[in-house]
Amino acid sequence: MSLRARLTLLSTSIVGGILLIFGMVVYVSVSVTLTNQVDSTLTRAASQIIQNARSDRLSLSLPELDLFADVYIQVWGKDGLLESTSQNIGGFSQPLDAAGLISVQPVFHDVLVGNARLRVLTVPLIIRSSNRIIGTLQVGTSLAKIDAIQKVLLNVLFVGAAVSMTIAGLASWISAKQALSPLKDATLTALQIIRADDLSRRIPYKGPPNDEVGQLIHSFNQTLSRLEKHFNTQRRFLADVGHELRTPLTVIKGNVELMRRLNCGDDESMTSIENEVDRLARLVGDLLLLAQAESGKLPLITATVELDTLLLEVLNQMRVLAKDRLDLRLGEIDQVIVCGDQDRLKQVLVNLIGNAIQYTPPEGEVIVGLGKENNKARLTISDNGPGIPAEDRPYIFERFYRGEKSRTRLKDGKGFGLGLSIAYWIVRNHGGQIEVASREPQGTTFCVWLPLAKDECQE
């Protein structure tokens, strides 16, 4: 459940709880008030009737009936016989409250007579001089009006609570949307930064700067500014180092060639120096390529690429590198056309196949395959080398990372841990992805997914 929904549910529940307590208090208060009014009416009626009773024997004179149009009266003798009733009872001869006839104290009871609910006051008739009970007076009235009022009040409270909770829920939903919209913008901005590697983006915020959300957005934007400054400094450093190293490397290589022509130094030392210069030159080239890629200054020339033709071309070139040390062969291949930069895609193939050759021991094999699956091109490079340890797999696409615990490297020292980083960047910017599966010591398989070309490629 989203935060917006939880806040709406919380506020609605609070309003509902308050209305429930308020409704219960109102309902109970009104019910008690109405019941007290009925009890007062019955008490006054009973008092008037008792005042007309004679003191010697039971001889009660009922007051005018129009004064008690809604009051039903019964007078019962000591022997349990009905002595007198009000005219509005008609021929009803049963006690209004049978349980109250045995009471020696005035009591109020709610009783059901037929389909009518009555409130009945039962009062024993006592001669004060002798404290002798000579009969029982029962005075009752219908509770239909009270029941009707309670029903209307209950409906009003229920409808009012439902309307109030609906309004509160809508208001909370709208308020939560306005309050949380900057957080949604922050999420979208963060996702855009991840996808585009663009730390120059900032979260727009037009609300008050001093509230909690405003402070959060301000802090997040400040963090982005510091990260952008840090990464820009790092990129400039890589670019500057690359440019600065190119010149001395060129000079060293030129001097080595000159020394060879002049027969200065032995050939083994010259070859070693020249190899190291070549390694440093490749390192500088890779660093400059990564710096340009991360800064967005490495454009991709998009065109139609026949990936199967490109794979065969690279495979023929890499067989020279493999020589007779291992078996480099082509597995299943299908005609595949993608949109992309042919030179960069070739670089991906060279890096991945070269990496497999480099980590595969002698007499091993490297199998390359190409096919289609779910509207995507699927390129696989498999070897039967020692495999990649599980703890190394999350980091193999990071710069300068080389897992050497189980994958035995050749001793020519040509790798710098940049090839997979470059391949990862190129594939990702072509809308694809690289997956790796490895089982020690059965080998490793790299799988490259690229979207197939559907229409004409657009730059």
* DSSP labels, 200-253: T------S-TTSHHHHHHHHHHHHHHHHHHHHHHHHHHHHHHHHHHHHHHHHHH
Separation of first and last alpha carbons in the chain:
42
- Candidates 3.40.50.300, 3.40.190.10, 3.30.565.10, 3.50.50.60; CATH matching 303-451: 3.30.565.10
Contact 106, 121 (CB under 8 A): yes
Is CATH 1.10.150.20 the classification given to domain 3-149? no
Q: What does the domain layout of the chain look like in residue ranges?
A: 3-149, 212-295, 303-451
Q: Write the pLDDT tens digit of every residue in 340-395.
A: 989 889 989 998 998 888 888 888 899 999 999 988 999 999 998 888 888 888 87
Closest C-alpha among 194, 197, 202 to residue 232? 197
Residue 296 pLDDT grade (very low, low, confident, very high; cuts 50, 70, 90): low
Give percent above pLDDT 90 in the chain: 23
pLDDT of 58 over the 50 cut: no
| Least confident piece of the model among 72-81, 160-169, 404-413 | 404-413
As a whole number of angstroms, the distance between CA 71 and CA 42 comes to 8
The predicted model gives 388-409 an average pLDDT of 66
Domain 212-295 indexed as CATH 1.10.3720.10: no
| Closest by CA position to 232, among listed 243, 240, 244 | 240
What number of helices (H) and strands (E) belong to the chain?
7, 12
What pLDDT, on a 0 to 100 scale, did the predictor assign at position 196?
63
Structure confidence at residue 52 as a pLDDT band (50, 70, 90): low
Residue 321 identity: L
What is residue 309's predicted lDDT score, i.e. its pLDDT?
A: 93
pLDDT at 33 over 90: yes
Confidence class for position 138, pLDDT limits 50, 70, 90 = confident
62 or 19, greater pLDDT: 19
For residue 411, the model assigns a pLDDT of 42
